Structure 1
Amino acid sequence: MSETPWLTILGLGEDGLDGLSTASRQELERAEVIMGPSRHLSLVPETGAERIAWPVPFADGLPILQGLKGRRTVVLASGDPFWFGAGSVIARNFAPEDWVARPGPSTFSLAAARLGWPLESTATFGLHAAPLTRLRPHLSCGLRAIVLLRDGAAVAELARYLTETGFGDTTLHVMEALGGPRERARSMSLTEALLGAFEHPVCVAFEVSGDGRSLPLASGKPDEIFETDGQITKRPVRALTLSALAPARGEHLWDIGGGSGSIGIEWLMCDPSLTATTIEPRADRAARIRANADALGQDRLQVIHGRAPDALDGLPLPDVVFIGGGLSDALLDWLASNLPSGTRLVANAVTLESEALLSQWHTKLGGDLLRIELAQAGELGTRRSWKSAYPVVQWSVTL
C-alpha cells in the first residue's frame, strides 16, 4: 500500500471530533474534500474543505468518489467501516494503494460494553437495508443479538416480527446515538417498543425468549416450514441430498426444478458465503419459492422462472448442480457439454423412466448411484405397519 494514499475511509462516532485519534484529526485537517452522509458531515466542523453529501442509493456515490481521485479525500462512515459499513464496498472499487482506513469503535462494541455482553458469543446483524426475516434461522431461546436498524420506526417492526414468530417474551435494549451527546439507552418489552418513538441512529440488543419454533441446525429442516403444493423433497431425502451436494464455503448451486425451493433454501442456510439459483418452469411454484425464501431469511436466493436447459444460458456457472425436476437426456447432455470439469452434479429420480436414464448416465460418466427406500410406521386397522414411500434413486458425479 502506498505511503500517501489519496483516500481515507474514516470511522466517525456520534461524539464527532472528540472520539477521533490524532491521526484521524490530521487526515481531516489536510483533506481537500470531505464526503459522507449529511448526518456525519454535520458532526465535523468546517475546515475549508469541499463537502459532498453521499447520495442515496449508496452505489450512486461511487462514481462521484472515482472522480475525486488525486485529491486528498476523506470519506466519513459510522464507527468501524468494515463491520456492516461502507468500507468493504469502497475497498472493492479502488486499488489498495488508493486508500487507507482509520476505524473507530463499532456500534456493536459500544452496545456490548453498555450491556456487559461478550461480543464473541453475541450474534451481530446489519439490517439497515436487509429484511428482518434474516433473523429467522437464528431465532432460538437464549440467543443474544445486536441488530443495526435503518431508523427508529424499524424498532416497532422488529418488536412486531419477534411477536409474530412466537418470541414475544423478549426484552429489547434500544440504544440511540451511542457514544454521543444524544445517547439514550432503554430496556423495554415488545409491547412498549411498539408504542415508543426512537431517533436514528439506533441499534437494538435482545436475548431471545418465548415459545417460538427454533429451526434445527442440521440438514433436513421440517417439511412444515415450507409452503408447498405437495411438490417438495421430503425431509429425510432432503437431508441425504444436502449431504451429497456437500456445500463448501463460497460455492454456487443451481437447483433445477425447484418445486418449493427447499433444496436451494437449505443450501443457503448452511453458510452465509453460499449462493444459489433456482430454476422452476411453473410460475406459481416460482412465486412460492420466492415467498419461502423470503420468509426463511434467504432472500438472496435467485429464482428463475423458466425451463432448463434453455433458462440456464447466461447464468453464472455453478460449482454444484441439483436436478430435482425436469430430468431428461437433453438436460444431462447440456450440463455435461457446457459445465466445466470439476462441477458436482446430484440428480434424484422417482419414476422408472428417470431411474433408467440415471443408470445410463452412471454407466457413461461413473459416480455413485444410491437407492433410497424409506418407510414410516402408520396405523393398519387396530395395529401398526410400515407405509413405504416411493423409492428415490440418487446419482452423484463430478463432471
Structure 2
Amino acid sequence: MIDVVGVGDDGWAGLDDGRRGLVERASTIIGGQRHLDLVAGHVAAGAEMVRWPSPLRAALPALLERVGDAVVIASGDPLRSGVGTTLVELLGADQVRIHPAVGSDVLARARQGWSAEQTVVVTVVGRDLRAVLPHLAPGVRLVVLCSGGEDPTRLGALLTEHGWGTSLLTARWHLGGPDEGALAELAHEFSATTADLVVVCVEARADDHTQVARTAGVVPGRPEDFIDHDGQLTKRDVRASALARLRPTPGAHLWDLGAGNGSVALEWCLATDRATATCVERDPDRAARITANAEALGLAGRVEVVVGDTTAIDLTGLTEPDAVFVGGGLDPDLLDRAWSSLRPGARLVAHAVTLEGESALIATHNRAGGELTRLSVEHAVTLGRFLSWTPARAVVQLATTKGTP
C-alpha cells in the first residue's frame, strides 16, 4: 500500500495528526528533495528517505516493487497535476491512498475570492504554455499552475501575442507559506521573474472584440483562417455540420482520415476537455502543418499525425476511436474498413463530393442506417454594384452510429 501525503508550503505545521502519524510511522518515505526536507526532522529512526528516480515514470515500477509499503510526500493535492495520479494509473486505486492538503489552486481562488464553479484550472507544469489558449474567452477566470518563476512573464507575452494583452494577471507564489507573495499586472506589462511554486490568476480581457467573437468559444465552425492551410480543408459551414453529428465528448478520440490541414480534428479537440485525435494524411507537408496548427492552438500532445495513404494504412494499429470522420475524397474500401473498426456506440461521419463517393455513402446507409444529407451552401459576393449568391460545391453527408451486434 502506498500512502500519498499532501504537504503545503507551510510544511509540518500544516499537517493534521493523521498525516503526521503516517510520516512518523513510515519505514520508507519517497519524495523530491524539497518535500523530504519538509518532514526530515519528524521521521522514525532508521527510516529510509528515497528521492524520486529519473526518468520518473519509467523507473517507478522497479522502485515501488523494491520498497513495498511506503509513504510518498507530494505537493498539496497529489491528484491535481501531481504524482498521485501517476501512482493510481500504475498500481490501481485500491493500492494507493491519497491524503490531500489544500492545493495551490484552491488557495489562489481563496485569495482572489473566486468560486470553483466560475474558475478553470489549467496546468502547464512540464507542458507547453500554449495549453492555456483553448480556455480563453472574455470574462473567463483561469488559475494557471506554472513550472517556474519565468512563466508569468512568458504567459503575459503569449496572451498579448494572441490578442489578450489587457487581461489582468496576478502571480501568487509560495501560497500558504511564510514566503507567500503576489504581483498583479496587465498581461502586456508583466515583466517580473517571480519565485518558483507560482500560480497565475488570469482575468481574460480581449483587445479586439471583433476578432475574438469570430473564434472564441467551443462551438465548431470557425473561419477557415483559424489555422494555417493551403486550401485543403473542410469549409466552416460543412465542418460545423460534421462536428454536430460527430458529437465530441470529454476524453473521446477521433480518427480524421484524409485530414488535409486538420480542421475537423482540431475543432474536435477544441470543443471539449481532453478530446484527442489521430489524423491520417498522405501529404508530408500537410501532415507537418497539422502538427504546427495543433501546437499553435494549445493542443500539443492531443493530436497524433500519421503520414500515410488512407487506402493502404492499417487502421488496427491506431488508437481505438469513439468517432471517425472521412473527408470528401473517400474511397469505398476505406469507408468499409472505418465502419468495421468502430465499437458499438461509436459514430461515423463521411462526406462525398463525387458521384462515386455518393454511391458508396448510399450503400453504407442502406447497410448501417443513419442520416443521409445533401448540404448546399451559398455565399453572397459582390457582382458589380450588387450582391449575388455564389454556390459552393454540394456535399453529401452520411452520419451514423454503430449499433449493438
Normalising by structure 1, we get a TM-score of 0.92
User: Do the aligned partners of 1:84 and 1:126 also contact (CA within 8 Å) in 2?
Assistant: yes
What is the match of residue 13 of structure 1? 8
What is the match of residue 61 of structure 2? 63
SS in 2 for 1:178: coil
Structure 2: distance between partners of 1:116 and 1:246:
35
The amino acid of 1:15's aligned partner reads D
Q: CA RMSD in A?
A: 1.9
2:31 to 33, 36, 41: 36
Q: Aligned pair in 2 of structure 1 residues 361, 96: CA closer, same or farther (>3 Å)? A: closer
Structure 2: distance between partners of 1:166 and 1:249:
27
Q: How many residues align?
A: 392
1:139-189, Cα deviation, whole Å (9 max, x unpaired): 122211111101112222111101101111222211111111222112223
Structure 2: distance between partners of 1:314 and 1:163:
41
Q: Aligned pair in 2 of structure 1 residues 380, 206: CA closer, same or farther (>3 Å)? A: same
Q: Aligned pair in 2 of structure 1 residues 147, 383: CA closer, same or farther (>3 Å)? A: same
Give 5+ residue unaligned stretches, structure 1.
Answer: 1-5
What is the match of residue 197 of structure 2? 201
Deviation at 1:332, TM superposition (A): 2.1
What is the match of residue 219 of structure 2? 218
2:143 to 142, 146, 164: 146
SS in 2 for 1:130: coil
What is the match of residue 305 of structure 1? 307
The amino acid of 2:156's aligned partner reads A
Structure 2: distance between partners of 1:269 and 1:191:
25
Structure 2: distance between partners of 1:109 and 1:337:
46
Q: Does 1:371 find its partner at 2:382? A: no
Report 1:118-133 matches (<5 A).
118-133=115-130
Bigger shift: residues 335-344 or 354-363: 335-344
Structure 2: distance between partners of 1:33 and 1:67:
12
Deviation at 1:115, TM superposition (A): 1.9
Bigger shift: residues 229-238 or 339-348: 339-348
Q: Does 1:80 find its partner at 2:95? A: no
Structure 1: distance between partners of 2:400 and 2:166:
48
Deviation at 1:319, TM superposition (A): 2.2
Deviation at 1:216, TM superposition (A): 3.1
User: Do the aligned partners of 2:371 and 2:398 also contact (CA within 8 Å) in 1?
Assistant: yes
Deviation at 1:44, TM superposition (A): 1.7
Q: Does 1:259 find its partner at 2:256? A: no
Q: Aligned pair in 2 of structure 1 residues 30, 242: CA closer, same or farther (>3 Å)? A: same
Q: Does 1:381 find its partner at 2:384? A: yes
Deviation at 1:64, TM superposition (A): 4.3
User: Do the aligned partners of 2:29 and 2:73 also contact (CA within 8 Å) in 1?
Assistant: yes
What is the match of residue 231 of structure 2? 230
Q: Does 1:362 find its partner at 2:365? A: yes
SS in 1 for 2:268: helix
1:318-344, Cα deviation, whole Å (9 max, x unpaired): 121110154112212323444445442
What is the match of residue 3 of structure 1? none
Normalising by structure 2, we get a TM-score of 0.91
Bigger shift: residues 16-25 or 148-157: 148-157
Q: Aligned pair in 2 of structure 1 residues 169, 291: CA closer, same or farther (>3 Å)? A: same
1:104-139, Cα deviation, whole Å (9 max, x unpaired): 011011111222222321111111022122221221
What is the match of residue 51 of structure 1? 49
User: Do the aligned partners of 1:37 and 1:55 also contact (CA within 8 Å) in 2?
Assistant: no
SS in 2 for 1:117: coil
Q: Aligned pair in 2 of structure 1 residues 270, 217: CA closer, same or farther (>3 Å)? A: closer
Structure 1: distance between partners of 2:49 and 2:263:
49
Structure 2: distance between partners of 1:191 and 1:377:
39
Structure 1: distance between partners of 2:344 and 2:202:
47
What is the match of residue 242 of structure 2? 241
SS in 1 for 2:232: coil
Q: Aligned pair in 2 of structure 1 residues 295, 37: CA closer, same or farther (>3 Å)? A: same
Deviation at 1:391, TM superposition (A): 0.4
SS in 2 for 1:67: helix
User: Do the aligned partners of 2:173 and 2:182 also contact (CA within 8 Å) in 1?
Assistant: yes
User: Do the aligned partners of 1:308 and 1:326 also contact (CA within 8 Å) in 2?
Assistant: no
Structure 2: distance between partners of 1:147 and 1:206:
8
Bigger shift: residues 362-371 or 158-167: 362-371
Q: Aligned pair in 2 of structure 1 residues 33, 119: CA closer, same or farther (>3 Å)? A: same
User: Do the aligned partners of 1:281 and 1:307 also contact (CA within 8 Å) in 2?
Assistant: yes
Bigger shift: residues 260-269 or 328-337: 328-337
